[in-house]
Each structure stands twice: as structure tokens, then as C-alpha cells.
Amino acid sequence: MTSQTPTSRPKAADISKDSSTVETSALNRQMLAILDFGSQYSELIARRIRETEVYSEVLSYRTTAEQLQQLNPKGIILSGGPSSVYDRGAPACDPEIWNLGIPVLGVCYGMQLMVKQLGGQVERAERGEYGKAALLIDDTADLLKNVTEASTMWMSHGDSVTRLPEGFTVLAHTENTPQAAIANPHKHFYGVQFHPEVVHSPEGGELIRNFVYDICECEPTWTTEAFVEEAIREVRAKVGNQRVLLALSGGVDSSTLAFLLHQAIGDQLTCMFIDQGFMRKREPERLIEIFDKRFHINVEYIDAGARFIEKMKGVTDPEEKRKIIGHEFIQVFEEESTRLGPFDYLAQGTLYPDVIESADTNVDPQTGERVAVKIKSHHNVGGLPKDLRFKLIEPLRKLFKDEVRKVGRAVNLPDDIVRRHPFPGPGLAIRILGEVTPERLRILREADYIIRQEIRRSDSYHDFWQAFGVLLPVRSVGVMGDQRTYAYPIVLRLVSSEDGMTADWSRAPYELLESISNRVVNEVDGVNRVVYDITSKPPGTIEWE
């Protein structure tokens, strides 16, 4: 996403969506549709396509050929998935898709489904293939153009194609998989048994570009500047002279939205910043300074810390914490919006992953079973009260996080906010394991401040995806001076990642670890130990709760 924006249509599952929601209407003159069969990488496929400056959307595998015709995609990608195509009730796409005359790329499960529906055969492999494999190329035309012989591709399958459909040929194989890439070039049908979208497939991006540009004949029309122009036009047309309310958290999403809306409608925008008592040290003051005083964006500061902390008494379960904080936030928001109102629109920083993960597009209407599992509850989508008094406006709902950062730069959001590390909505409340108390908040807030100071001092802030401390609800014995101590440990979490979907613990310099440990233990009363978390994601998560 870098310069001119195509037109957007609602995805098939969203055609009946409330028309009060503002979407970018011009985003898919050039678009690719991804049919999701429950793969953990479906969003990643969409992002990789958008990196080629072509718009893409993730749709339910139940999207019909007729609905796809209405969307008029330049190409279709069938995602991977956890099922086997020969399982009873395995998800399948509308077979009429093969008669649309649109290029199709099947990835892993998607390739196997293509083979099965077009008359080939898929069976349980004698040897599954998981992890890195060298791709041995038989035909470099079209899909594998500029892909290096024996380049690494990421495999993850226990089934294999044992008979190709009529008209298909083998493009590449691996040591264990005779049909690692296949094609029917006359009908523009292609399949790969590996995952070109993951970072473990270094030349997978080249394959994706070949499909997007050479096979689907797309043009690079998905761009930041045109998105901003289109979004501003649509917001102005939708809002007119009415008032808009935005809940501002200080994070990248809501901050970008605030700057975008302020450019569109100026003083018709009111931002409400609710301080729930779980923010990091000095962040509320800094937010007011930047938005209200420096950029003259109207921000109403609501100090609600006492009532939130009171609600946390005795609560230890992380999901219960999230639910309580979310419910209380809505209560405060409704009270204050009544006081400050009336408002006609509520603006939300909903992003595309929120829409995908919070939607029910992958629930089988007959069995009620989900194809993909929702890992965490989201605050932006699905967390609103049923009797919402506002009309919704969500200009960012088609964007991924990296695209939001580009939009932030385009609307002159300060770089330190654009590049800010992700921070959870419930704040420090879910970085304190167990009960959240004023004393534990004080300890973690001070420790977190020192951690951020030290990584900035070492000029390594942007070397990490996230860097933070976690307070554990246990105490250990220590010695400080000649005195015995019995105090809390702080877990230091420094991770490296490209998108947060996977992450590795950072091999931080010993000098940095030492300076953080020394300062936290010496300066934060109540802490006598710092430990370093060396767990990657997976199997762990980035946050502890």
C-alpha cells in the first residue's frame, strides 16, 4: 500500500451490513479474493498480496460463485486449513467457481481441494512433510518464474496428491512430495503444497507476485495516499455537519483515526480519553499534550481509575479481567457521552483482523461448528451494547496494522506514536498476573518506565516488536545491603517479530539486560529479582495474559 487506491466492495459475508458503517468504497477495481478454510495464515496471505500494492479480502469458503462474480476479483486464492479433503463434512468451495474463468491458486488444503473437485485424487501421505523443504523446479514458467532452484519453502501437510486432474502438470517437487506445485496453465489454475506466504519461505513473495501480476494481470493500485483521500471524502459525505465521538486510547489505531477524522471534519470531532488507571507512567499527560495542545484536536480527559481498580478486587482470571474492564469502559463511555453530547456518530479504530476474527463467517450454519478458533475477545468488534445510540463510522476497517501505520504517517501522526510498541487495551491490568492492586500497579508502572527508558537510552527501542515487564503474584527471598528481602520478581519480555502473529525472544545485549535489572531492583521498592522470558510464540504468547 503506497499510492493510489482502488474501490472497495463489501465482502460476500457482509453484503447485508448496516449501511451506516463507512467503508472505503473505491478499494477494489483490482482485488483478489481469499477463500478461508480455517488456516492460521489466511490473514497473512491477504497481507502478502497487499504488499504487492493490490487489494485483497478474506472471505468465507462458503462464498458462492455468484457472490464472487458480484465482487469481480482478478483472482481467487484457496487458503490452507486443518481438515483433510476426504474427511466427512470437510469444507469445500462452490464447484461453480471453476467455471468463472478467473485464475485460482490453491495453497496446501486449497490445492488438495482443487485436485479433488476437478477429478484428481488425494490420499494420506506415507510420510508427512513439516517445516523447511528444498523446492526442486520442473517448470519455471508463470508461477515459479524467478524462484531459485532448491529455494526453501515451508511445508505443513500430512496428505498428498496421488493423481492429478486432467490438464494439470507438475511444476515442482520436493524430496518427499512429488507434486509440490501444479498447474493447468490453459485454465489458469495453480496449486502449491507449501506456504509461500510465511517468512520461512524466503522466495514465496516472488511466487505470490507472479500470480498477482503475471497470471491475474493486476496493477499496483492499492496505495496509502489515495486511501486517505478516499476516506476523507467518504467521511465528509457521510457525516455532513454532524458530530462524531471517538474513544481515544493513545495507541496507533485510535490515534491515526483521530488525525484522519480531524483532517476530514475538524472541530466536529470530539475525542474521549478514559484513563482506567492501567496506563503506563506519564502516558495520559503526554497524550493530552500531543493531541489537545500541540495539534488542537479536542480531547476530553476522563479520570476513572478509582472505579476500575475497585472492580478488580479479588479478580484473578485474565478473561474475567478483560470482560470487567470492557464492561466498565462502556458504562463510563455512555455516561460521559451523554454529558458531552449529543453525538450522531461513534468512530472506532476497527481493523481488518478484528473484522475477520470477530465475524461468524466461518461457523457452519447447520452444525454451528467453527472452522477457525477465535483466540481472544476483541474490544472494537462485537463488544458494543445492543442499544447503541450512535451510528458507526469505521474508516480503518479494511486495513491491517502495518497499513494503519502508513496511513498514520500520511496524516502527519508523530513518528513516536506511529512506531509505538503494541499495548493491550486492558493495559497493565493483564501484565499483572493474579489480582490487580494499587501497590502492584505502582510497582509494575515504575518497572515498566525504567525498561522503556533503558531501551531508548541504548537506541534499541525499534529493534523490538514489544518490550515490557510482567509482575508475578509470588515473592522470593533476596539480600539487599545486609538485609533480607521478600519481594516480587519482574519478568522482562523482549520479543522480535514482523507482524505479531509469530515472535521470537530477542537476543538482547547482556549490557542492556544488566542495566535494566540493576535499575529495576535498585529503584523500584518491592522488587528484588528480574528474570528474562526466553519463550517464543508459539508455543507461548507475547503477552502473559
Please report the DSSP string for 223-282 in residue order: -HHHHHHHHHHHHHHHHTT--EEEE--SSHHHHHHHHHHHHHHGGGEEEEEEE-S-PPTT
pLDDT at position 28 is: 43
Choose the catalytic residue: 157, 195, 262, 379: 195
- Say which residue the cell 507512567 belongs to: 281
In the chain, % helix, strand, coil (3-state, to 5) comes to 35, 25, 45
From residue 218, give the alpha-carbon distance in Å to each of 111, 184, 229. Answer: 22, 20, 22
Residue 149's DSSP bridge partners are: none
Per-residue buried b or exposed e for 19-52, using 16+ beta carbons within 10 Å of the residue's own CB: eebbbbebbbbbbbbbbbbbbbbbbbbbbbbbbb
pLDDT per residue over 429-451, tens digit each? 999 999 999 999 999 999 999 99
Note the Cα 416 to chain centre separation in Å: 20
Note the Cα 317 to chain centre separation in Å: 24
pLDDT at position 374 is: 32
Is the pLDDT at 198 greater than 60? The verdict is yes
Choose the catalytic residue: 57, 93, 108, 378: 108
Higher-pLDDT residue of 501, 192: 192
Choose the catalytic residue: 43, 57, 129, 197: 197
DSSP code, position 166: T
Q: Is 328 a catalytic residue?
A: no
pLDDT per residue over 318-340, tens digit each? 999 999 998 999 899 889 999 99
Stretch 403-420: mean pLDDT: 93
Percent of the chain with pLDDT over 70: 88
Cβ atoms of residues 421 and 431 within 8 Å: no
Which pTM value belongs to this model? Answer: 0.76
pLDDT at position 158 is: 75
Stretch 201-205: mean pLDDT: 91
pLDDT at position 124 is: 82
Percent of the chain with pLDDT over 90: 67
pLDDT at position 481 is: 75
Cβ atoms of residues 428 and 458 within 8 Å: no
Q: Is 195 a catalytic residue?
A: yes
Cα gap 32→394, rounded to integer Å: 22
Stretch 476-481: mean pLDDT: 86
Residue 311 CB neighbour total at 10 angstroms: 18
Residue 328's DSSP bridge partners are: none
Is the pLDDT at 376 greater than 60? The verdict is no
Cis peptide preceding 220, ω within 30 of 0: no
Stretch 458-487: mean pLDDT: 92
pLDDT per residue over 479-505, tens digit each? 887 788 899 999 999 999 877 778 899
